Structure 1
């Protein structure tokens, strides 16, 4: 997801611990699917 990569790049420059929270607001843009796929690839 481009937004996630951009946020991670900028936040990494701060050298602080951070958490990005994506919210499914019930829209029909496929958010739940995108969020689930991100979770699978970024959990440590």
Structure 2
């Protein structure tokens, strides 16, 4: 039973970490796009 519990805990942690990384990447991309759009008009002038 302990082994099953440990394996499930490990996979739950892995899923959580993957989800956090995905969310972080999505937020980073959105922020980068926002910053890029803000900087682009300045470089066009």
TM-score after normalising by structure 1? 0.33
TM-score after normalising by structure 2? 0.32
Which protein, 1 or 2, shows the higher relative CO under an 8 Å CA cutoff with sep ≥ 6? 1
Greater gyration radius: 2
